[in-house]
Every structure is written in structure tokens, then in C-alpha cells.
Amino acid sequence: MRTIRLGRTELIVTKNAFGALPIQRLSMDQAAALLKKAYDLGVRFFDTAHAYTDSEEKIGLAFENVPRQSVVLATKSGALDPAVLRKEVEMSLAHMKTDYIDILQLHNPAFVPQEDHPAYQELLKLKAEGKIRHIGLTNHQLKNAVEAVNSGLYETIQFP
């Protein structure tokens, strides 16, 4: 599979990623089998969100015996309150059975949090603690996505 450097990170990922939203509809065993099949076929980048019901747990089950450095795990949080954001990151770590998240993305905020915003400051703390490696943002509004890129604060931007 072809690989690319992802955003402003040093991560080299497969050009085709696995978006985990649909695995909510599968049983734990079906989802784990599908995720393992994708991995066996060469997919190494898996994207989910804390809000995708049990998808993080399914990822944790699928990859609990896979060398952690062989997969890139991205997840999202819609929380802008620092305490809630930290709690969601801690839950995501536990669900995915990992000690770090490769990319934590703020999920479709109505505005682009700048460096002085409490949520962004919390992301910097989580990064310094090694719980997340990179800070990203998802957005469905072109204006916000462009603002995030121009801010230089986000290492990845996910835009539909």
C-alpha cells in the first residue's frame, strides 16, 4: 500500500485509512475480525472518535496483540472543557488498550480554538505527558478548516 506523511506530523501512514464509525453496527467479534483483516491487507491508519459508541473498544480488542508502533490510532473529542477533554482522552486510552494516542482531534468545533483557549492548553499538557502525540482538528466548515490550517496550531486537519 502507498504511504504518505500525514499533515505536519512525522507519521507515515497508508494512503487508505480505516474510518471506524461504521463498526458501531457490528458485534465485537465481527468488528475485531474486520479490523484485523484491514491490518492484514496493509492498512495501518485507523480513525475513530470517543463518540462512536463502542468503536474504540473494538479497536482495542482487535489490536491488543499487535505491536503498538505498527498502527496509527487517531480519535476525536468534541469536548472544549479541559476537564471533560482530559476525561475523554483517559477513557479513549483505556478503551483502545494503549498508553498513547497518535492523533487527538478536536471534533468539529463551532470555532477554531486558539493557543490561549483552555482546551488547546489541555491538549498541550496531554502531549507533554505523552498521552497524545499530535494535535488535530476536524471541521465541516471550510472557513474554520482554513483558519485552523493558517493558525499553524494543528498538525492535522480532517475535512470532508
Task: Tell me the DSSP string of 17-41.
Answer: -EE-GGGGGS-HHHHHHHHHHHHHT
pLDDT at residue 103 is higher than 80: yes
pLDDT at residue 15 is higher than 90: no
* Single pTM value for the model: 0.93
CB atoms within 10 A of CB 99: 9
Query: Mean pLDDT for the chain?
Result: 95
pLDDT at residue 1 is higher than 80: no
Q: Annotated catalytic, 100? A: no
Residue of 52, 100, 120, 154 with catalytic role: 52
Pairing mode, if any, of strands 12-14 and 3-5? antiparallel
What amino acid is encoded at 75 in this protein?
T
Percent of the chain with pLDDT over 90: 92
Residue 72 vs residues 1, 12, 115: alpha-carbon distances, Å: 15, 9, 25
Q: What are the pLDDT digits (tens) for 46-84?
A: 999 988 889 999 999 999 999 999 999 999 999 999 999
CA distance 110 to 141: 9
Residue 12 vs residues 6, 8, 51: alpha-carbon distances, Å: 6, 11, 26
